[in-house]
Amino acid sequence: MKKILVIGSTNTDFVLKVGAIPQVGETVMSRSFQQLPGGKGANQAYACGMLGGRVTFLSAIGEDGLGGVVMENMRRAHVETRYIRTTNEDSTGMAVICVDETGNNSIVVVPGANLYCDCGYLMDHRDAIDMCDILLVQLEVPVEGIFSAVEYAHKRGKTVILNPAPCPDSIPDDVLQNVDYITPNETELQKLTGCRMDCPEGVREGAETLLRRGAGQVIVTLGSKGAMFCNDSKTEHFPAWQVPVADTTAAGDTFNGAIAVALAEGKGIEEAIRFANAASSLAVSRKGAQTSVPSRAEVDKFMNDRGGI
Ligand code: ATP
Ligand code: RIB
């Protein structure tokens, strides 16, 4: 099996269950509060481990004990954490997450120590990139470092997966040219391309815009509608599995981790997307970020029980 390297953020998630997400100027009462391991990078690395991948994680945490709790969770999923940077300059990243009755959320991230997952740190650990086959990154840590790691990995023939979340105003074409798979959700695709997302044609036009600008292949995640795949020769829609929704936090992270694991196992991209839809549909039916990520056995059983899609 191929080796996966995930680079990205580590956060402690402060999860507030609310009746409805507060409007501007509004105060609402929370129905429950939980402190849980999160961060887009950590969630994706954890998902890779839980789904059976061989995975190493590069990230930065504070010397405050909070990051250590997340790393303990990583190790329970057999994620290699030996290169994690610890800094006393700032505290471990935090995210305040409001989850409403329908399972939708809004998130504010305090990056903290994630700012130390920078270019210098990543280039000091370029041997970890040398040792991997697949690099999976998001943009919740300084983007200059991520873009350098992507360039370094691409030059060495690694498969690069970029999940553009949170989404910057733009991503330079020369970065897209180093990316094999870019995996925006609809909001991110809209921000990156300006295309309309209220019809399949608009989504397709957005994906084609990213292809023209240099991305190798595009997978757009569509929430309850599943995912759309687009490359130079075809566009295909993969419907989501119908599940009761508890909390959509880390749906995208689970999806990206699952894509990386499936590619590491040598699956084709269509099979990888079906697997990722199944893994992330299980994640939305549970609460929290890492707490919602299913095991490989659970995903295999789910797909088996439902007889494929
Ligand atoms: P998040 O930011 O909430 O982690 P995201 O916006 O990055 O997620 P989405 O497109 O919302 O990503 O979801 C990723 C995948 O999760 C989808 O492609 C789909 O497979 C699955 N998914 C999301 N919402 C649902 C749902 N309501 N029912 C079934 N599957 C879902
Ligand atoms: O994608 C979900 C994650 O986004 C949460 O775990 C939170 O930490 C934010 O980074």
Q: In 3D, which of 157, 8, 140, 152 has the Cα closest to residue 74?
A: 8
Which alpha helices (H) appear in 101-157, and where do they start and end?
119-124, 126-131, 143-155
284 lines ligand 1 (CB under 6 A): yes
Residue 218 is given by DSSP the state E
Using most ligand atoms within 8 A of CB, pick from 12, 16, 40, 185 the residue to mutate for ligand 2: 40
- For position 125, what pLDDT does the model report? 97
39 lines ligand 2 (CB under 6 A): yes
Nearest atom (ligand 1) to Cα of 252:
7
Q: What is the pTM of this model?
A: 0.97
Give the residue whose CA is nearest to atom 2 of ligand 1: 252
184 lines ligand 1 (CB under 6 A): no
- For position 308, what pLDDT does the model report? 61
- CB-based contact 161:257 (threshold 8 Å): no
Q: Where in the sequence numbering do the catalytic residues fall?
A: 253
β-strand partners of 35 = 14
Ranges of the chain whose pLDDT falls below 50: none
β-strand partners of 5 = 56, 135
- For position 306, what pLDDT does the model report? 86
CA distance 152 to 218: 21
User: What's the topology of domain 3-10+42-84+118-305?
Assistant: UDP-N-acetylmuramoyl-L-alanine:D-glutamate ligase (3.40.1190)
Instruction: Kindly report the length of the chain.
Output: 309
248 lines ligand 1 (CB under 6 A): yes
